[in-house]
Amino acid sequence: MKSYIIIDFDSTFTQVEGLDELARIALKNTPDGKERIAQIQQITHEGMEGKISFADALRERVRLLSAHQNHISELIDFLKTKVSPSIERNKQFFKQFADNVLIISSGFREFIVPIVSEYGIKPENVFANSFLFDENGNIIGYDTSNLLAQNEGKVLQLKALNLEGEVYVIGDGYTDYQMREAGLANRFYAFTENIKRESVTAKADYVLPNLDEFLFIHKLPMQVSYPKHRIKVLLLENVHPKAKAIFEKEGYQVELLKTALNEAELCEAIREVSILGIRSKTNVTAKVLENAEKLIAVGAFCIGTNQIDLKTCMHKGIAVFNAPYSNTRSVVELAIGEMIMLTRRIFEKSNLTHKGIWDKSATNSREIRGKKLGIVGYGNIGSQLSVVAEALGMQVYFYDIVDKLALGNARKCNSLDELLREADFVSLHVDGREENTHLIGEREFGLMKEGVIFLNLARGHIVDIEALVKNLKTGKIAGAAVDVFPYEPKNNEEEFISELRGLPNVILTPHIGGSTEEAQENIGEYVPQKLIDYINTGSTYASVNMPNLQLPAQKDAHRLLHIHKNTAGILAQINQVLASHQINILGQYLKTNEEIGYVITDIDKEYSKDVITALKRIENTIKFRILY
Ligand SMILES: NC(=O)c1ccc[n+]([C@@H]2O[C@H](COP(=O)([O-])OP(=O)(O)OC[C@H]3O[C@@H](n4cnc5c(N)ncnc54)[C@H](O)[C@@H]3O)[C@@H](O)[C@H]2O)c1
Ligand SMILES: O=C(O)CC[C@@H](O)C(=O)O
């Protein structure tokens, strides 16, 4: 049996109301234009809500209009830029189903037909009103005998069409619902991509955020592999609001929480989530991942990724991205500031001054100029600190387990011990890998100079806190700045408990090395973009746990993404499946690491369900996705 899809034009096919826009164009230079446009818009709105009689509303609006044929041409150009995004991207669907799609609109053919015919919709399938013009091209009225000019005109029109088969109505207004109410349509879908009217959605059989959803639920061909609003994003730890806005603009459903979640809470929350965004406090453990059936990617809205079980993510084909540079400068500036504050004992003096005690003296107060700074871990932060510290006159020494280029006049140390013996200031900037646990303990403090200034802005578990406290109390360490701790409160309500509290010349900060407006905003833009690229194109460029692969998007191609265990012959098997279905490969790239392989394949043919099933069935497949 044939099915018909009846689509409304104004605020459904296009994002705007055609008649309102025509008024805006026609009346823009008339003295009382503004008021008349506002009146027309108000009448349109009330008509859509079902609050006034349609026939009266139409008569009144056309009376207020004073438009000319030339204004219609201008309107058409404008409307071409205002087709609803999901309609526009599914152009192919309309072309393919031209016999099944009808437009029933209370708008006017004169501007509807030129817009919808570009989508392959036949003029004879457009049912709408028509203007009447005088000999000079002025609109002087409309054909009042047209069914669509009457009250309940859409109902009358649909009845007159006497369609045989399933009838689905998609629209944003009450008049669209009336066709279903009259028993002429099997289902009414409230279309909310442009406007959501409560009085209409309340009556709908189904609320459509866009056309993709309609095509998805009816298993009709669509341009996206999966409707984006079905992609759920969970953002924790108060990441910058820009991130939420970016994901929402992309059409995803986003939930933003201010705090971290513990393992049990996350196990529950993650079930329906496709993208998870966290900072340093949320642990993405193997147990959490067991519950993450829909998870495609994790974004660390920070530098560190030690809180994420990267291996398990990789084994499950879940790509992890971070923001490797966005807060680097913020940490460097804090480290420099803290070195100066500590070596001048500023916090102690400031506290005394606040209490009314005037302790003016230079004793134990020194410049950083000419002092030796030992940087442990010469990565992005360590090396930038090196440059800035040198500019302030410090002599830089660094130690890294990896061979690194010394910047400026920095001197490389061959061992951690060598650095610790040499430095007046020791600043830690190693990453948070497990092997770095207690990298600095009693033995290492023992190697340091008397009166050393010590900074840890890297990760809490790197330092043995007990040993640090002991050496601060003996005065071996003259001052310390600690921003990261082995255990950190889950939120701002939880008390921070540490033996470091109350010690003199110790700056304690609540893990805010990277917490500047600039850094958080940068991160809030950078990480979502990486995640969206991965979802939309399969690019794993800069992923911290997947083979990095990026392939330019191909026009008129479908893209298949295949993640598998790194065993011999998988690529051959993929290509065998494609060849046996006569599918031509337009582009293909494979990259592997020791454990997994990632193949992006662009193909030039419509794929069938059989191909997909066959590709998924290839032994050792971890994850398979199809894009566009
Ligand atoms: N406090 C904060 O808010 C804050 C902000 C950003 C980054 N961080 C932390 O700062 C640290 C450094 O960040 P980054 O962006 O420079 O990282 P990075 O990965 O660029 O650099 C880390 C460097 O440490 C080296 N390294 C690792 N283990 C080492 C060891 N045992 N001895 C010597 N070198 C070792 C690595 O080879 C690498 O060069 C990370 O732990 C990160 O999590 C903290
Ligand atoms: O913002 C955070 O939670 C972590 C900041 C920092 O430690 C990082 O790894 O970038």
Which of the four pLDDT bands, split at 50, 70 and 90, describes residue 552?
confident
How far lies 193's CA from each of 42, 170, 210, in Å?
21, 11, 5
Average pLDDT over residues 192-210: 95
Give the residue extent of every domain in the chain: 3-217, 228-321, 328-515, 552-627
Take residue 558 and report the two structure tokens written for it: 């479908």
pLDDT tens, position by position, 365-387? 999 999 999 999 999 999 999 99
- CATH number belonging to the domain at 552-627, selected among 2.60.40.650, 3.30.70.20, 3.30.70.260, 3.10.20.30: 3.30.70.260
- Residue 50: pLDDT above 80? no
CATH 3.40.50.720 fits 228-321, yes or no: yes
Cβ(386)–Cβ(362) below 8 Å:
no
The per-residue pLDDT of the chain, averaged, comes to 94
Average pLDDT over residues 305-310: 97
Name the nearest CA neighbour of 217 among 616, 226, 625, 196.
Answer: 226
Take residue 305 and report the two structure tokens written for it: 């990724």
pLDDT tens, position by position, 66-92? 899 999 999 999 999 999 999 998 999
Q: Which ligand is nearest to the CA of 437?
A: 1
Give the domain 328-515 fold. Answer: Rossmann fold (3.40.50)
Question: Which residues lie with the beta carbon below 6 Å from any ligand 2 atom?
Answer: 279-280, 302-304, 327, 511, 514
- 374/389 Cα distance (integer angstroms): 11
Global confidence as pTM: 0.81
pLDDT tens, position by position, 420-439? 999 999 999 999 999 999 99
| pLDDT value for 378 | 98
Architecture of domain 3-217: 3-Layer(aba) Sandwich (3.40)
| pLDDT value for 101 | 96
Percentage with pLDDT > 90 across the chain: 87
Task: Report how far ligand 2's centroid is from the alpha carbon of 527 (Å).
Answer: 13
3-state SS, residue 296? coil
Average pLDDT over residues 327-345: 98
Do 552-627 and 328-515 have the same topology in CATH? no
ipTM over 0.90: yes
Report which ligand 2 atom has the smallest distance to the Cα of 281. 3
| pLDDT value for 66 | 87
Strands 166-171 and 3-7: parallel
- 92/102 Cα distance (integer angstroms): 16
- Residue 554: pLDDT above 80? no
| pLDDT value for 601 | 94
| pLDDT value for 453 | 98
Which of the four pLDDT bands, split at 50, 70 and 90, describes residue 606?
confident
Which of the four pLDDT bands, split at 50, 70 and 90, describes residue 605?
confident
The side-by-side arrangement of strands in the sheet containing 372-376 is 411-412, 395-399, 372-376, 425-428, 452-456, 477-482, 506-508
| pLDDT value for 607 | 75
Take residue 308 and report the two structure tokens written for it: 């994420």
Task: Report how far ligand 2's centroid is from the alpha carbon of 316 (Å).
Answer: 25
Average pLDDT over residues 201-213: 95
Catalytic residue numbers read 459, 488, 511
3-state SS, residue 377? coil
| pLDDT value for 227 | 85
